Amino acid sequence: MLRQSLPLRGAKHNHEKAQGAYDHVDSEAQGSESLCRGCGHRPLHVDEGKIVRRRLQPFLPLPVRLIMKSPRIYLVLAFLLAFGVLALIPIWYALDAIKPAEGGHEEHGGGATVSVEEFESKVEAQMEKYGLPDGSVRLPPGDVYILVTQFVYVPNNIRLKAGALYTLLFLSKDVLHGASLIKTRSLNSVIMPGMVTAMTVRPMQTGEILMLCNEYCGIRHHAMRAKIIVEEAALVGLYEGDGVVVDVQPQKGRVVLNHGEIKDFMAAMEGMSYVADPPTLLRGLKPGDKVRFGIDPDTGSVVKIAPVDK
């Protein structure tokens, strides 16, 4: 009886004869018309990979054997794994497994739970106080309140001062969102509904930073973005004065000055200590230096200081 299948180079084949079954290996079998030189029969080809898998199966765990029997099961397992992980987040949230205790570890800081109405009122007060005609907000160092909802950040055009320290406080009022600050590198955070997420930044270079949502939140997820504009602090209205350095405290980021009157801001003072923002302004300063300095009216910090000719 003659058996035939698709040919393989160097294939293993067998044929039945009256006296029994025999195996032959024809290393030169190369075509469908090739015959075994030993018996003249067309070879019955066997997939060598299947032989190896068949021999290994008794030693493998049941799940692995099932996967080997049907390649399509790979797709099914990948699908179940991906959507299973995705489903864990709302399940954990519903079970309060990832919510902190009421109030968080500090008032309205990262991890705090607050009402949406209370957070919205802070955002509105911030925009009313610091809003500009172009719709952006120019904010002093400190807390920045950002309300997140499908598919927008409010405010979505934020102006910060270079070198100043800020804490970006996010609250989602609907679904899971994210915030990814992208410039030369990226800074990422996940924003849970009803919980304040804090991100501390000190932008050192002027320019624009793109903020994108990095967690899928709906059909217009791709369009959810905002912009942070980092401005040179010295360009924002400062109160300027002249003085003499009494002491420099780089570890504390402070400088002690004797200075004359600062018009419309402060009378002449001796031994007045100021925070230097950023602390790198203090490099090269020493007691006795005569300096020209600028004070940020919002924070009272020295944001510009430089020696002057004696």
pLDDT in tens, 50-108: 666 677 777 777 766 666 666 676 677 777 888 887 777 667 666 655 544 443 334 44
Domain co-membership, 176 together with 204: yes
**174-195 residue pLDDT tens:** 888 999 998 767 788 899 888 8
Q: Assess whether 269 and 176 both reside in one domain.
A: no
Neighbouring CB atoms inside 10 A of 158's CB total 23
In this structure, the answer to whether residues 158 and 226 fall within a common structural domain is yes
Q: In what side-by-side order are the strands of the sheet with 137-138? A: 137-138, 157-161, 225-231, 207-212, 177-182, 186-191
One domain for residues 218 and 180? yes
Residue 226 resides in a domain: yes
pLDDT level of residue 12 (50, 70, 90 thresholds)? very low
Cα–Cα dist 135/157, whole Å: 7
Predicted local distance difference test score (pLDDT) of residue 87: 76
For the residues 189-202, what does the mean pLDDT come to? 90
Residue 296 and residue 248 share a domain: yes
Name the domain count of the chain.
3
155 and 254, same domain (yes or no) = no
Confidence at 3, pLDDT banded by 50, 70, 90: very low
CA distances 66 to 72, 76, 83, 172, 193, Å, are: 11, 12, 21, 44, 41
Shared-domain flag, residues 143 and 230: yes
Over the chain, what is the mean pLDDT?
A: 77
pLDDT (tens digit, 9 = 90+) per residue, 289-305?
999 998 887 778 888 88
The range of the structural domain enclosing residue 172 comes to 116-234
259 and 226 co-located in one domain? no
Residue 221 forms part of a structural domain = yes
Task: Give a yes or no: residue 102 inside a domain.
Answer: no
**Is residue 4 over pLDDT 70?**
no
| Judgement on whether residues 194 and 279 belong to the same structural domain of the protein | no
- Show Cβ contacts of residue 34 under 8 Å, excluding neighbours closer than 6 positions: 7, 26, 28, 42, 43
Reported confidence tier of residue 10, pLDDT bands at 50, 70, 90: very low
Report which DSSP code applies to 97: S
Residue that is last in its domain, among 184, 209, 234 = 234
**Ranges assigned E (strand) in the chain:** 12-17, 20-25, 137-138, 142-149, 152-154, 157-161, 166-172, 177-182, 186-191, 197-201, 207-212, 225-231, 239-249, 254-259, 269-275, 290-295, 302-307
